[in-house]
Amino acid sequence: MIASGHLFLALLEGLVSGLVLALTALGLSLVFGVMRIVNVAHGEFFMLGAVIAWFFSAALGSFGLALLAAPLAVGAIALAADRLILRPIRYAPEATIVATIGLLYILQQLVLMVYGPYARPVDAPVYFRVEFPWFGYSGYKLVVAILAALLLGATWLLISRTRLGLYMRATQQDPDVARAFGVPTERVYAASFALGAMLTAVAGALVVPIQQAHYLMGLDALLLSFMAVIIGGLGSLRGTLAAALLIGLVDGVVSVFFSPTLAKIVASALVALVLVGRSGGLFGEGAT
């Protein structure tokens, strides 16, 4: 009975972290898929989402408003970054990597200067404890899982059912042809970059009541997102989603039954295996 309790806890933890990771990784995958650039500063958008959510909930006293304001603010920052940094270097892949590394440090150090080195908490907007036979669990974490799932669904609808989604898919398949058909690719790039940043910012904002806002929190988010994107297949949104959930569950189960360090090793080994065996990732190249 204890073992089944542990397994249940492991799956629950894995599901929650997998869904949050899916949001973050989806943002990275979207940017890579549509724009063909690697955004090294992606984790900092996660951190900014968390920090700005803290700021707004402290200033407005409402986490709900903060949850809206944080992604909007981060989206605006991403638009500015696209306009001021990425577009002038014409989205050249190598230059973009270097530029986004710079952006990473600038954002991180600005937050350190303005917000400080502290880990600051936010009260969960809903607080209840779910009592299972073996242990209790945070009700807010379940809310986070549901919200993340809803947002993932909404993103999928946006990409598959709207004009912007169509433009994005067209740009991803062939930017030149898309441009010839009148798709404003530059604006699509900007929109994808902002959307990717907003997705990860929401994820960052959602976890603030669980794990606080801290100026170095972006690094883990970036590493795990990269893992998900590589395992899932570069640019494949479906693959990213599946990989994020897989990483979350593997992490949950292995770290409850063995050790969290082993869980990280397993996830990294998975990345290595995928790169050796199926270099395009589990879901291959180009699929959405």
- Side chain identity at 205, as an amino acid letter? A
The verdict on 11 binding other proteins (CB under 8 A) reads no
Please tell me whether residue 283 adopts helix, strand or coil conformation: coil
* Contact (Cβ atoms closer than 8 angstroms) between residue 263 and residue 251: yes
Q: What is the DSSP string of 162-220?
A: SHHHHHHHHHHH-HHHHHHTT--HHHHHHHHHHHHHHHHHHHHHHHHHHH-B-TTTHHH
Does position 256 interact with other proteins (CB under 8 A)? The reply is: yes
Task: Name which of residues 213 to 242 contact other proteins (CB under 8 A).
Answer: 214-217, 220
Q: 145 and 252 in contact (C-beta within 8 Å)?
A: no
Kindly state whether residue 156 participates in binding other proteins, applying the rule CB under 8 A: no
Q: CB-hemisphere CA count at 13 Å for 40?
A: 15
Nearer to other proteins, 125 or 165 (CB): 125
Closer to other proteins by CB, 4 or 160: give it.
4
Q: How far is the CB of 12 from other proteins (least distance, A)?
A: 8
Per-residue mark of binding to other proteins, 60-79 (x: CB under 8 A): --------------------
For residue 136, the cross-strand partners are 131
Q: Which stretch of DSSP H or E encloses residue 237? A: helix 237-257
Residue 212 contacts other proteins per CB under 8 A:
yes
Q: Determine which residue in the list 4, 59, 60, 109 makes contact with other proteins, applying CB under 8 A.
A: 109
From candidates 65, 79, 138, 165, binder to other proteins by CB under 8 A = 138
269 lines the binding site for other proteins (CB under 8 A): no
In degrees, rounded to 5, the angle at the alpha carbon of residue 232 between the alpha carbons of residues 263 and 154 is 105
Contacting residues toward other proteins, per CB under 8 A: 2, 5-6, 9-10, 13, 17, 83-85, 87-88, 90-91, 106, 109-110, 112-113, 116-119, 121-124, 129, 131, 135-138, 186, 207, 210-212, 214-217, 220, 252, 255-256, 260-261
